[in-house]
């Protein structure tokens, strides 16, 4: 790949990385209970794809070691945001279920961003957001396919 193209693709990934760091810091500053982005992300994932997944599947989905996911899940259990139950299909593992408190925490975390989103909307129009989303979704799908 010519250097100019490589540089452009790197710049794209670099900008996404910076946006990721800035958005992470913002969300973590708004969350209560000392929760961090990994905790929120697991709750958000469970709401998006549904209950009943295993710790190993979560670790694979988030591309983290199982030990890291186990630590994240333990913190969520301690906070009362998830329950770990015996896996009906495989008695050696657990199934993860989000609690009402977990759903409420996730929803409250999102709601806490409302003033920040309102400020963002003053500088970034809905039309611009709608124009960006398809390309970002496409990029996510490509990167997701490439990891397998």
Check which CATH number belongs to the domain holding 40 and give it: 1.10.10.10
* Structure token pair of residue 93: 């593992």
C-alpha distances out from residue 90 to 30, 79, 85, 120, Å: 38, 26, 11, 46
Between the alpha carbon of residue 139 and those of residues 57, 60, 129, 146, the distances in Å are 23, 19, 15, 11
Classify residue 136: in a domain, yes or no.
Answer: yes
What digits encode the pLDDT tens for the residues 73-121? 999 999 999 999 998 887 788 999 999 999 999 999 999 999 999 999 9
For residue 145, is it within any domain? yes
Q: 101 and 146: one domain?
A: no
- Based on the fold, state whether residues 65 and 117 are members of the same structural domain: no
Report how many domains make up the chain.
2
> Taking the model in full, what pTM does it have?
0.86
The answer to whether residues 106 and 58 belong to one domain is yes
Structural domain span for residue 123: 113-148
Q: Is 97 helix (H, G, I), strand (E, B) or coil?
A: strand
Residues 43, 105 within the same domain: yes
Instruction: Give tens-digit pLDDT for 29-85.
Output: 999 888 999 999 999 999 999 999 999 999 999 999 999 999 999 999 999 999 999
DSSP for residue 36? -
Contact 58, 49 (CB under 8 A): no
- Is residue 71 located within the same domain as residue 135? no
């Amino acid at each position: 790949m010519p250097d100019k193209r490589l540089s452009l693709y790197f710049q794209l990934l670099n900008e996404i990385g910076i946006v990721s760091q800035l958005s992470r810091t913002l969300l973590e500053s708004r969350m209560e209970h000392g929760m961090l982005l990994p905790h929120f992300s697991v709750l958000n994932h469970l709401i998006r794809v549904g209950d009943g997944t295993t710790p190993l599947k979560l670790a694979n989905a988030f591309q983290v070691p199982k030990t890291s996911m186990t630590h994240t899940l333990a913190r969520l259990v301690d906070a009362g945001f998830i329950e770990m139950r015996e896996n009906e299909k495989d008695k050696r593992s657990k199934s993860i279920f989000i609690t009402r408190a977990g759903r409420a925490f996730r929803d409250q975390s999102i709601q806490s961003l409302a003033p920040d989103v309102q400020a963002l909307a003053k500088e970034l129009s809905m039309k611009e957001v709608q124009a960006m989303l398809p390309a970002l979704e496409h990029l996510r799908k490509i990167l997701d396919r490439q990891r397998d």
